[in-house]
């Protein structure tokens, strides 16, 4: 789960970079609205997916810690 979150986070940066590349292209007279729209939309989607996977991973860690605490309390 952590690896998936890492990959999604890096992809987010790359996609927002794509949006900036499309915007920066206007400085050289070759801008592209398509790059900007794709970068912003896909970057936002991967951001949401990254947060969702991280939240899910944290819930798994919390459940694992609670089960360890219950086992420790019952064995004492």
Average pLDDT over the chain, rounded to an integer = 92
Total domains, the chain: 1
How many Cα atoms within 13 Å fall on the side-chain side of residue 31? 10
Question: How many degrees, rounded to 5, is the angle at CA 21 between CA 16 and CA 26?
Answer: 135
**In contact, 15 and 42? CB cutoff 8 Å:** yes
Cα(43)–Cα(37) distance, rounded to whole angstroms?
Answer: 10
Instruction: Give 29's DSSP letter.
Output: T
pLDDT of residue 73: 77
Structural domain containing residue 55: 2-75
Q: Mean pLDDT, to the nearest integer, of 7-21? A: 96
Q: Is the pTM of this model over 0.95?
A: no
Instruction: Give 27's DSSP letter.
Output: G
């Amino acid at each position: 789960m952590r690896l998936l979150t890492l990959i999604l986070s890096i992809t987010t940066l790359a996609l927002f970079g794509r949006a900036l590349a499309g915007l920066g292209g206007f400085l050289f007279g070759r801008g592209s609205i398509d790059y900007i729209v794709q970068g912003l939309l896909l970057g936002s989607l991967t951001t949401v997916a990254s947060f969702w996977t991280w939240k899910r991973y944290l819930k798994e860690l919390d459940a694992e810690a609670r089960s360890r605490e219950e086992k420790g309390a019952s064995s004492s």
